[in-house]
């Protein structure tokens, strides 16, 4: 089994000093990559800027921005993979333009943002037979609203892993997720260490 996993946040630079990012630690994606490697699978980890030390024995591709992560992931997938796990927290928006140097402080300024590309959609379009497992972060709303939002991703994926960020798992070493399959099966994994969640997730999606 050959697997590519994305993990961590991205940085969208406003100028050469400041950037937009999020609180993703990359721990969940790294745990999935590690547990896949322990099964004897060939694993590539595309990793955004984090403080974690990547697991040994993997192919590591370091990236910074959303554009970097998308381009490097597509480039790597073109080498032939059996499964893609999209666990990175890729920025949804990026500045329309980056200012060279450092924007002077002391004055208000308007920052215009544009939407970033959607990695999972591009992967499905380019690799229609690839097994895709995509994480979907939601914040608030009812269980039904969250599940309905997650199910929209099934157009492009085989499994969606729903993360409710109100549970406080973002950036921590524990996680609590709900897995939805294309067959509409719903499996809830209770709060546990991310290594254990990764093991259970791979058990579910491997076949």
For 174-207, how does the pLDDT look when each residue is reduced to its tens digit (9 = 90+)? Answer: 898 999 998 878 899 988 999 999 999 999 999 7
Separation CA 69–CA 197 (nearest Å): 24
Tens-place pLDDT, residues 51-88: 999 888 999 999 999 999 999 999 999 999 999 999 99
DSSP helix/strand/coil, 142 = coil
> What pLDDT is stored for residue 172 in this prediction?
78
Separation CA 113–CA 91 (nearest Å): 11
Q: Give residues with Cβ within 8 angstroms of 76, minimum separation 6.
A: 4, 44, 46, 61
**Residue spans per domain, the chain:** 2-100+111-205
Residue 99 · residue 15 · CB < 8 Å: yes
0.85 exceeded by pTM: yes
> What pLDDT is stored for residue 69 in this prediction?
98
Q: What is the DSSP letter of 60?
A: E
CA distances from 98 to 94, 126, 157 (A): 9, 29, 33
> What pLDDT is stored for residue 173 in this prediction?
87
% of residues, the chain, pLDDT over 90: 74
Separation CA 200–CA 107 (nearest Å): 51
> What pLDDT is stored for residue 170 in this prediction?
67
CATH superfamily ID and name for 2-100+111-205: CoaB-like (3.40.50.10300)
> What pLDDT is stored for residue 207 in this prediction?
78
> What pLDDT is stored for residue 149 in this prediction?
74
The first and second tokens of residue 143, run together, are 């269980």
């Amino acid at each position: 089994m050959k697997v590519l996993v994305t993990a961590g946040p991205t940085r969208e630079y406003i100028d050469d000093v400041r950037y937009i990012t999020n609180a993703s630690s990359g721990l969940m994606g790294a745990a999935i990559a590690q547990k896949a490697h322990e099964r004897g699978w060939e694993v590539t980890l595309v990793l955004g800027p984090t403080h974690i030390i990547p697991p040994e024995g993997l192919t590591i591709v370091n990236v910074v921005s959303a554009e970097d992560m998308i381009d490097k992931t597509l480039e790597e997938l073109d080498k032939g993979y059996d499964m893609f796990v999209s666990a990175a927290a890729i920025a949804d928006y990026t500045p329309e333009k980056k200012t060279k140097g450092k924007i002077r402080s002391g004055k208000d300024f308007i920052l215009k943002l544009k939407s970033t590309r959607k990695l999972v959609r591009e992967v499905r379009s380019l690799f229609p037979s690839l097994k895709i497992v995509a994480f979907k972060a939601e914040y608030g709303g009812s269980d039904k609203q969250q599940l309905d939002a997650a199910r929209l991703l099934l157009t492009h994926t085989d499994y969606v892993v729903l993360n409710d960020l109100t549970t406080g798992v973002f950036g921590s070493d524990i996680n609590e997720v709900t897995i939805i399959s294309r067959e509409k099966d719903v499996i809830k994994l209770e709060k546990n260490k991310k290594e254990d969640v990764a093991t259970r997730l791979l058990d579910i999606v491997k076949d």
